[in-house]
């Protein structure tokens, strides 16, 4: 086969005969506002349990709500024992000597995120919630501990509705699709909160969640840096009718605050828009803030998402660090980084977003600043206290919290250093990790296969590495190949070796006819290939094409071997022998700035070519200059990729996004 290497190449523009083909708009599903729904389960308090809530203490039921059928003095199941559905919620890990307010709701409407809220009370601290959920098959998850949340908006926050009732609570916890919940609420000093409610959030679904279009926030505002790629509120489906506050703005931005959401780490790339909607609904409605608290959220894949409305380049005041919301910019890492380490892509993007933001206001990312506490809530410092801080500080530096977790906090020095380097060197400014969105048909529609592969700056390539008929994504990292035999996001590399140099373009093909593809590189008009997927010297090296051509690989004559071709000045040149690298044919096709692709679109056993232009593929069923198929797929700025993703002996289209 047939594949276009994923690297960025210059194009030789020359005057010649061009085949002009029409340009179509991108066909990916367009994001639309998605209205979330929130169901509440009332627990009341230890002193007065509500509805079906049950109070337990030291292994015994001591009280129950008016709708509960659990008798007092009922034994609580021992650790490891499963209570009957609807009876008593018990993890076996309750704090000894502390009353626990619990509820068991084994049958609920669908939800995907859960949080626990209560009446805001400065005297209620160190609240711990244990929860578990039931999936569609009726299987209960393991128990998860969720701490009291540490982001905060107070009635003294500029922009807050002074009549609003703000609630305390945990962070919202992503459960994925769930249909039942059990929760246990305790406070270390026994002062459990009042009016406790379990908030079950269904963020809704959108076909655009799995295949978001290219990040579209372009708020440069005269920055010294190029703004990093940031997905907009519209792209994650924000329902702006949830907004319940007036934007307020600080005089300037003085510092950036780093958080984590303390959420689940077990999320896919396609889950993130729904998680954003869940956080938004919980912050705006369940906690009463009127909007999402963070300015930007960064996922583990290194993608940045717009949070708080009001403009990313503005001084809009968020709700992310009680007492220190004004004049700070809050960036939160999606997940719990007290339990797992951050990813390199995430840290790189956090540093890049902060560097861009601070560059707008002339703030040194390695500098110091003095901020005055507004007090309240979880603030570590009383109102009016002036606190010296780094210009990039962690939430735990100003709040009674572990945020951004022990692993996140350990990255603070790295984030400051990276931000300073990015501010000084435009070449280091943020990109996002490569994301492959693949179709199983040469037609418009949603991606059938989605995979994020590698880190920021990696170059993807696809081939059939094990001869099973499926093309799978691999990455090339500055002379280092990582090969995978599956497009599953959780797949581990099956090969890891060095071949080529920094700046080379990776290629692959079946050079020796053994039914398995192996690697190669293109370097300034020369092809270097190996017949195995191991490091070492090239087993074949030959020149073919101009130094600024686009390399391409395919089986042009239907024999057992893949051979090379090049696309230059809108003309495709190919050879049927890598041992005799002279052109066996040439064919003008497309325009000079198109990106060439190759594949067997018809199952004939021979590859032909196509071009990609601004979200549209133009394919020919033979080595000729006639367009046989027009496939609208992808966005302007995407890079094309082709392969056999479902083992049906035909090649279909895909795009690479985000590097």
Looking at the chain, the domain(s) classified CATH 3.40.80.10 span: 230-428
Mean pLDDT of 491-518: 92
- Residue 169: Cβ-neighbour burial (10 angstroms; 0-12, 13-18, 19+): buried
Highest averaged pLDDT of the listed ranges 94-98, 248-252, 410-414, 629-633? 410-414
Tell me what percent of the chain is helix, strand and coil, each rounded to the nearest 5.
10, 30, 60
Alpha carbons 342 and 334: distance in angstroms, whole number = 10
Phi, psi dihedrals of residue 414, rounded to the nearest 5°: -65, -40
- Residue 108: Cβ-neighbour burial (10 angstroms; 0-12, 13-18, 19+): middle
Residues 6+ apart with CB under 8 A from 4: 550, 552, 595, 596, 597, 598, 639, 640, 641, 642
Joined tokens for residue 629: 């198929």
Please tell me the predicted confidence (pLDDT) of residue 310. 93
Q: What is the DSSP letter of 355?
A: H
Percentage of the chain lying above the pLDDT 70 cut: 89
Given a cut of 50, is residue 162 above it in pLDDT?
Answer: no
Lowest mean pLDDT among 159-168, 337-346, 553-562, 611-620: 159-168
User: CATH class for domain 37-202?
Assistant: mainly beta
- Residue 63's DSSP bridge partners are 55
pLDDT digits (tens, 9 = 90+) for 123-147: 777 888 999 999 999 999 999 998 8
Quick one: which of 235, 247, 385 has its CA closest to 324?
Answer: 385
Would you say 392 and 365 are in contact if contact means Cβ atoms under 8 Å apart? yes
Looking at the chain, the domain(s) classified CATH 2.110.10 span: 435-657
Lowest mean pLDDT among 67-76, 258-267, 342-351: 67-76
Please tell me the predicted confidence (pLDDT) of residue 636. 79
Q: Which helix (H) or strand (E) holds 419?
A: helix 412-424
Lowest mean pLDDT among 87-96, 156-165, 327-336, 436-445: 156-165
Please tell me the predicted confidence (pLDDT) of residue 12. 26
Given a cut of 50, is residue 156 above it in pLDDT?
Answer: no
Residues 6+ apart with CB under 8 A from 120: 166, 167, 168, 377
Alpha carbons 157 and 325: distance in angstroms, whole number = 8
Alpha carbons 406 and 403: distance in angstroms, whole number = 8
In this prediction the pTM is: 0.71
Q: Which residue has the higher pLDDT, 69 or 275?
A: 275
Please tell me the predicted confidence (pLDDT) of residue 150. 61
CA atoms in the 13 A half-sphere facing the CB of 233 = 20
Alpha carbons 115 and 171: distance in angstroms, whole number = 6
Please tell me the predicted confidence (pLDDT) of residue 2. 41
Strand order in the sheet with 144-147: 60-64, 54-57, 100-105, 180-187, 127-134, 144-147
Rg (alpha carbons) of the chain, rounded to whole number = 28
Percentage of the chain lying above the pLDDT 90 cut: 61
Mean pLDDT of 543-553: 93
- Count the neighbouring beta carbons within 10 Å of the beta carbon of residue 339: 13
Residues 6+ apart with CB under 8 A from 406: 337, 338
Given a cut of 60, is residue 540 above it in pLDDT?
Answer: yes
Alpha carbons 597 and 553: distance in angstroms, whole number = 9
Strand order in the sheet with 518-523: 505-509, 518-523, 526-529, 540-543
**Domain spanning 435-657 has what CATH number?**
2.110.10
Q: Which residue has the higher pLDDT, 221 or 246?
A: 246
**Superfamily (CATH) of domain 230-428:** Peptidoglycan recognition protein-like (3.40.80.10)
**Mean residue pLDDT across the chain:** 87
């Amino acid at each position: 086969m047939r594949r276009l290497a994923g690297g960025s190449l210059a194009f030789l523009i020359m005057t010649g005969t061009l085949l002009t083909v029409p340009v179509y708009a991108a066909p990916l599903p367009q994001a639309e506002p998605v209205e979330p729904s929130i169901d509440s389960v009332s627990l009341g308090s230890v002193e007065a349990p509500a509805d079906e809530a049950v109070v337990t203490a030291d292994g015994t039921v001591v009280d129950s709500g008016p709708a509960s059928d659990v008798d007092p003095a009922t034994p609580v199941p021992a650790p490891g024992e499963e209570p009957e559905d609807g009876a008593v919620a018990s993890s076996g890990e309750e704090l000894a000597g502390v009353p626990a307010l619990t509820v068991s709701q084994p049958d609920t409407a669908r939800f995907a995120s859960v949080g626990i809220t209560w009446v805001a009370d400065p005297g209620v601290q160190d609240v711990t919630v244990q929860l578990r959920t039931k999936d569609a098959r009726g299987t209960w998850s393991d128990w998860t501990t969720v701490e009291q949340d540490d982001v905060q908006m107070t009635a003294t926050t500029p922009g807050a509705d002074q009549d609003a009732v703000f609630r305390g609570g945990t962070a919202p916890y992503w459960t994925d699709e769930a249909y039942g919940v059990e929760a246990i609420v305790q406070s270390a000093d026994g002062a459990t909160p009042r009016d406790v409610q379990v908030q079950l959030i269904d963020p809704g679904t959108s076909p655009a969640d799995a295949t978001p279009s290219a990040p579209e926030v372009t708020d440069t505002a005269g920055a010294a840096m190029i703004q990093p790629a940031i997905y907009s509120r519209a792209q994650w489906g924000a329902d702006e009718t949830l907004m319940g506050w007036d934007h307020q703005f600080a005089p300037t931005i003085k510092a950036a605050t780093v958080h984590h959401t303390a959420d689940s780490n077990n999320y896919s790339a396609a889950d993130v828009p729904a998680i954003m909607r869940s956080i938004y609904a919980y912050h705006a409605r369940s906690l009463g803030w009127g909007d999402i608290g963070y300015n930007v959220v960064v996922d583990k894949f290194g993608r940045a998402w717009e949070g708080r409305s009001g403009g990313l380049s503005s001084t809009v005041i968020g709700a992310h660090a009680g007492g220190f919301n004004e004049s700070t910019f809050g960036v939160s890492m999606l997940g719990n980084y007290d339990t797992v380490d951050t990813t390199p892509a995430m840290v790189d993007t956090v540093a890049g977003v902060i560097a861009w933001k601070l560059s707008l206001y002339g703030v040194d990312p390695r500098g110091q600043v003095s901020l005055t506490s507004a007090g309240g809530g979880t603030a570590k410092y009383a109102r009016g206290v002036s606190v010296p801080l780094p210009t990039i500080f962690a939430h735990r530096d100003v709040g009674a919290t572990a945020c951004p977790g022990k692993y996140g906090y350990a990255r603070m020095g790295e984030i400051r250093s990276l931000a300073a380097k990015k501010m000084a060197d435009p070449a280091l400014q943020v990109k996002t990790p490569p994301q492959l969105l693949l179709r199983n048909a040469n037609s418009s529609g949603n991606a059938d296969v989605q995979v994020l592969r590698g880190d920021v700056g990696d170059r993807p390539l696809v081939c059939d590495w094990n001869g099973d008929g499926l093309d799978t994504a691999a990455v090339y990292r500055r002379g280092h190949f990582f090969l995978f035999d599956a497009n599953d996001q959780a797949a581990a590399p099956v090969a890891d070796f060095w071949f080529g140099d920094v700046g080379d373009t990776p290629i692959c093909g079946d050079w020796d006819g053994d039914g398995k593809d192996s690697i190669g590189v293109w370097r300034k008009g020369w092809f270097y290939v190996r017949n195995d997927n191991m490091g070492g010297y090239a087993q074949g090296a030959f020149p073919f094409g101009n130094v600024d051509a686009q390399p391409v690989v395919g089986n042009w004559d239907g024999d057992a071997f893949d051979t090379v071709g090049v696309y230059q000045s809108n003309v495709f040149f190919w050879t049927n022998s890598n041992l005799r690298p002279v052109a066996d044919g040439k064919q003008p096709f497309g325009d000079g700035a198109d990106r060439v692709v190759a594949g067997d679109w018809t199952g004939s056993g021979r590859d032909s070519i196509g071009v990609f232009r601004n979200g549209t593929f133009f394919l020919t069923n033979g080595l000729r200059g006639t367009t046989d198929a027009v496939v609208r797929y992808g966005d302007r700025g995407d890079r094309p990729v082709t392969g056999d993703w479902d083992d049906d002996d035909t090649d279909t289209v895909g795009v690479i996004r985000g590097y």
